[in-house]
C-alpha cells in the first residue's frame, strides 16, 4: 500500500492507494473512530461495493443514503435531501460522512460535511479514475448551479482518502477516458515525465495494468498534495490545476450537466487552451498536435461542441471563479510542464478559436 500525505498542519491527512484498500478494516476504524458513519453513494456504486464496505464497519451501525448516478444530481436539492436525512436520523456532530463514489458523490458529500452542524468529519472513498487522481484530494467541495459549475461550495478537507484501484475494473470505458483527461492535464501543467509516461503506456493504461495505473494515480496525487499544501484555498499556484476547466465548465453548463462528462469537457478545454497558447506564441503546432494525439488515443473529444458559439463561451466564462474585477483569466501552457494564469487574452485571440 502506498501512503501519501497532504500536509496542512492540523488539517493534514493521508491518502492510501492500493488494491482492496476500501476494505481495510483497521484503517477504516482508525479514521471513523467512534463516530456514526453515514455512507453517501449512488445507485451505480451501491450494488457493486456498498454491502462489502458496510460489512467492515457494521459494528458502528452505519446509515446509507443512495442518490441517482450523474452530474445532474450534484445540486442544492440533493444537498438538502442529505441534510434532511441526517436530521431525521438524529445525526449529531459525532457523525462521520463517507463519500463512496466518484467526483459527484465526493464533492456533494464534502459540502454536506462542511455545512452540517457547522462541520462534521468525512472520508473520501473515490471509485472513478477522475476522482482518484483529482477531485478526492484537496478539499474542494461544491454543488452545481444552472448558471455555473461548482459555484456553491466550500474548502473542507477530508480526514483520509482511500483509493482502491480495484474499483477501476468495474468502471465504464467512457468514465475511464474522462479520468485520463485529468491525468494528462497534470503532465501538461507540472510534469513532462508523466506526460511522456502516458504517451509510452497508452495500451497498458487502457488495459488497466496495475503497475501503470498505480503509477499515474500516485504521481497525480503527489502533485496535487504538494500544490494544495502550498495553496489550500486557490489564491495562487493551485489555480494552475484548472487547465482546460475555464472552457470545459462552459461546455458542461451550456450542454447540460451530465451530457458531457467532466473529463470530456476538460479534454476539449485543454485543446482550446493549447491552441490559444499557440496563437500567443507559446506552443508550436507540433506541441498542440502531440496533445491532441494523446487525448484522442483515449477516445476523448478534442473540440468544442459544434452548436456552441463564441458568445455562448463568453457568457459562461464571465462567471468563472478565477476571474478578477470582471476580467476572464485563463490557465495557459507556456511550455510543456509549465502553465501560467493569464489575464491579457484579447477578444481577437479568443475569436480565432472559433
- 110 and 204, same structural domain? no
Which of 292, 304, 185 has the alpha carbon at shortest distance from 242? Answer: 185
Contact between 96 and 28 (Cβ < 8 Å): no
Q: Write out pLDDT tens, residues 187-197.
A: 999 999 999 99
- 97 and 66, same structural domain? yes
326: pLDDT confidence band, cut at 50, 70 and 90?
confident
- 137 and 245, same structural domain? no
Which of 39, 41, 42 has the alpha carbon at shortest distance from 57? Answer: 39
Cα angle, residue 331 at apex, residues 326 and 305 outer, rounded to 5°: 90
- 220 and 138, same structural domain? no
Q: Which of 150, 170, 190 is the last residue of a domain?
A: 170
- 294 and 213, same structural domain? yes
Q: Determine the pLDDT at residue 300.
A: 98
- 223 and 155, same structural domain? no
Q: Which of 121, 152, 170 is the last residue of a domain?
A: 170
In the chain, % of residues over pLDDT 90: 96
- 96 and 78, same structural domain? yes
Q: Determine the pLDDT at residue 185.
A: 97
Q: Specify the 3-state DSSP secondary structure of 75.
A: coil
The verdict on whether residue 124 carries a ligand-binding annotation is: no
Positions marked active-site: 118, 140, 182, 224, 234, 238, 242, 245, 249, 262
- 213 and 122, same structural domain? no
- 304 and 345, same structural domain? yes
Q: Determine the pLDDT at residue 133.
A: 97
Q: Determine the pLDDT at residue 187.
A: 96
Q: Which of 108, 142, 170 is the last residue of a domain?
A: 170
Which residues pair with residue 339 across a beta bridge? 333
76: pLDDT confidence band, cut at 50, 70 and 90?
very high
pLDDT at 286 over 90: yes
User: Residue 16 contacts by C-beta under 8 Å, 6 or more apart in sequence?
Assistant: 1, 2, 3, 24, 27, 160, 161, 162, 163
**Model's pTM, two decimal places?**
0.94
Q: Write out pLDDT tens, residues 254-285.
A: 999 999 999 999 999 999 999 999 999 999 99
The verdict on whether residue 128 carries a ligand-binding annotation is: yes
| CATH at 84 | 3.40.50.1970
- 217 and 160, same structural domain? no
Q: Determine the pLDDT at residue 7.
A: 97
> What range does the domain containing 192 cover?
173-351
- 210 and 116, same structural domain? no
The verdict on whether residue 107 carries a ligand-binding annotation is: yes
The verdict on whether residue 245 carries a ligand-binding annotation is: yes
Cβ-count burial 264-283 (b if 16+ within 10 Å, e if not)? bbbbbbbbbbbbbbbbbebb
| CATH at 211 | 1.20.1090.10
Segments of the chain assigned E as strands: 2-6, 13-18, 36-42, 63-67, 95-101, 122-126, 140-145, 148-155, 161-164, 330-335, 338-342
Q: Determine the pLDDT at residue 75.
A: 97
The verdict on whether residue 149 carries a ligand-binding annotation is: yes
Mean pLDDT of the chain: 96
Q: Determine the pLDDT at residue 325.
A: 85
Q: Write out pLDDT tens, residues 103-147.
A: 999 999 999 999 999 999 999 999 999 999 999 999 999 999 998
In the chain, % of residues over pLDDT 70: 100
91: pLDDT confidence band, cut at 50, 70 and 90?
very high
Q: Specify the 3-state DSSP secondary structure of 67.
A: strand
Number of separate domains in the chain:
2
Amino acid at each position: 500500500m502506498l501512503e501519501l500525505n497532504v500536509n496542512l498542519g492540523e488539517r493534514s491527512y493521508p491518502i492510501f492507494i492500493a488494491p482492496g484498500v476500501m476494505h481495510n478494516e483497521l484503517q477504516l476504524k482508525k479514521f471513523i473512530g467512534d463516530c456514526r458513519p453515514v455512507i453517501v453513494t449512488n445507485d451505480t456504486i451501491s450494488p457493486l461495493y456498498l454491502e462489502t464496505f458496510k460489512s467492515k464497519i457494521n459494528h458502528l451501525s452505519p446509515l446509507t443514503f443512495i442518490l441517482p448516478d450523474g452530474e445532474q444530481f450534484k445540486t442544492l436539492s440533493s444537498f438538502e435531501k442529505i441534510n434532511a436525512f441526517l436530521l431525521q436520523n438524529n445525526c449529531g456532530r459525532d457523525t462521520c460522512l463517507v463519500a463512496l463514489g466518484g467526483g459527484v458523490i465526493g464533492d456533494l458529500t464534502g459540502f454536506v460535511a462542511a455545512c452540517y452542524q457547522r462541520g462534521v468529519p468525512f472520508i473520501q472513498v473515490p471509485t472513478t479514475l477522475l476522482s482518484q487522481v483529482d477531485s478526492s484530494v484537496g478539499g474542494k467541495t461544491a454543488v452545481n448551479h444552472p448558471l455555473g459549475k461548482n459555484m456553491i461550495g466550500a474548502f473542507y478537507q477530508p480526514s483520509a482518502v482511500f483509493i482502491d484501484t480495484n474499483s477501476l475494473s468495474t468502471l465504464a470505458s467512457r468514465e475511464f477516458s474522462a479520468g485520463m483527461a485529468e491525468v494528462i492535464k497534470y503532465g501538461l501543467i507540472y510534469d513532462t515525465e508523466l506526460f511522456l509516461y502516458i504517451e509510452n503506456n497508452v495500451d497498458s493504461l487502457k488495459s488497466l495494468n496495475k503497475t501503470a495505473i498505480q503509477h499515474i494515480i500516485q504521481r497525480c496525487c503527489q502533485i496535487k498534495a504538494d500544490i494544495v499544501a502550498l495553496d489550500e484555498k486557490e489564491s495562487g499556484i493551485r489555480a494552475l490545476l484548472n487547465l482546460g476547466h475555464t472552457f470545459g465548465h462552459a461546455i458542461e453548463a451550456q450542454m447540460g450537466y451530465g451530457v458531457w462528462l467532466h473529463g470530456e469537457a476538460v479534454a476539449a478545454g485543454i485543446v482550446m487552451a493549447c491552441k490559444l497558447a499557440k496563437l500567443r506564441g507559446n506552443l508550436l503546432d507540433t506541441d498542440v498536435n502531440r496533445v491532441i494525439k494523446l487525448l484522442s488515443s483515449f477516445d476523448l473529444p478534442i473540440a468544442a461542441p459544434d452548436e456552441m458559439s463564441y458568445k455562448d463561451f463568453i457568457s459562461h466564462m464571465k462567471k468563472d471563479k478565477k476571474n478578477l474585477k470582471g476580467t476572464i483569466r485563463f490557465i495557459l501552457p507556456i511550455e510543456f510542464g509549465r502553465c501560467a494564469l493569464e489575464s491579457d487574452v484579447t477578444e481577437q485571440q479568443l475569436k480565432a478559436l472559433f
